[in-house]
Amino acid sequence: MRHWWKALGIALLLAVVCFGLGVDLAPALVHVDRDRIAPGPVDLRITTYRTRLSPAAPPHVWISNDGQRVCAGRVTVEDATHLTATVDVPAGLRADLTHLAVLPPDGDTLVLLDAFWTEGLGAGIADSPCATGTARSQAPGFRFPNRSLLTESIRNLFFHVPMWFTMMLLMTISVVMSVRHLRTGSLDHDGAALAAVHVGLLFAVLGLITGSIWARVTWGGWWTSDTKLNGAAVTTLVYAAYLVLRGSVNDPHKAARLAAVYNIFAYVLMMVFLMVLPRLSDSLHPGNGGNPAFNQYDLDDRLRLVFYPAVLGWMLLGTWAWTLARRLDRLQRLHDHA
């Protein structure tokens, strides 16, 4: 079967859509009504997600500072996803940041990392003498992790990131074909480079759209003045200029050679804008400018089971689209010579 890889790409993407959008997120802590705690009694209003809290069986609640626990003295469940807890915060906590943990009677421990900035640092305290239980979920099943800020938007990992990977693959194919054209002078190689840029720009635009949606959910705006975002936009414009440059020259051989040289510089600029500059400056984008990579906190084995097939599936689809665009270019040149 000559075209087995095309069927594989379609099958992978169908599976990614079904699993990526159909699998539930795990329960999680998503919000607490304060970001700073000082020594003394502190009332906390906590919001959870996908939990079934019950007033008849309130969960255990505690704060954790440098491995030392301080448990809540009073816990009141308001509804299935909201509760209040009173914690007597002691003086002498060692670390600057304090975690919040909630353990429902029928579930796993839910943790909100670095929930509070702690005042009154000291040499440490003794653990609170209260039980935190050892309950576990009865049937957790296969669920995606529920991360703070990301929540349901974590599913965009299966679309936004693979689309940019596919765009970079296509632009790599394009620059290779441009180099081959400079060596051989073949218009077929030039047509292959042009086809790769056409399809690569499509994936670049899709990457910008999905990234803008993700930014709106996690950062509160459709676009921010971020080095990685601006670099992605400039990269798209650089390759759009490649098409404009080709159209400004009537001689096909001269246009092909000029475009091939430009394509090499465009590829270098893409690497600078997407891979180099974001790592040398402050950036909100994961993995850049000192910001932790997405993999460090958010990617786990359950996400990888869908993410890696998504990357392969989108790359196969992009490659298939490139072969179709290249075939169309060949037909167009045959028609022009007829």
| pLDDT, tens only, 243-259 | 999 888 888 899 999 99
Confidence of residue 296 (pLDDT cuts 50, 70, 90): very low
- What are the structure tokens assigned to 51, written together? 């939990």
Residue 187 lies in a domain: yes
Q: Are residues 59 and 165 in the same domain?
A: no
Q: Which of 4-8, 116-120, 247-251, 257-261 is the least confident region?
A: 116-120
Question: What is the structure's pLDDT at 286?
Answer: 67
Tell whether 136 is covered by a domain: no
Say if pTM beats, i.e. exceeds, 0.85.
Answer: no
- 125 within a domain of the structure (yes/no): no
Residue 249 lies in a domain: yes
CA 299 to chain centre: 9
User: In the listed set 96, 118, 140, which residue is the last one of a domain according to the structure?
Assistant: 118
pLDDT class of 299 with cuts at 50, 70, 90: low
Q: Does residue 62 fall inside a structural domain?
A: yes
1 is a domain residue: no
The answer on 252 and 106 residing in a single domain is no
For residue 319, the one-letter residue type is: T
Choosing from 118, 133, 168, the residue where a domain stops is 118
Q: Is residue 16 part of a domain?
A: no
How many structural domains comprise the chain? 2
Determine the Cα–Cα distance for residues 131 and 69; give it in Å rounded to an integer: 10
Boundary (domain end) residue, out of 73, 93, 118? 118
Q: From edge to edge, which strands make up the β-sheet containing 60-65?
A: 36-37, 110-118, 97-103, 60-65, 68-71
**CB-based contact 48:28 (threshold 8 Å):** yes
Identify whether 145 is part of a domain. no
**Do 239 and 109 reside in the same domain of the chain?**
no
Q: Which domain holds residue 273?
A: 151-337
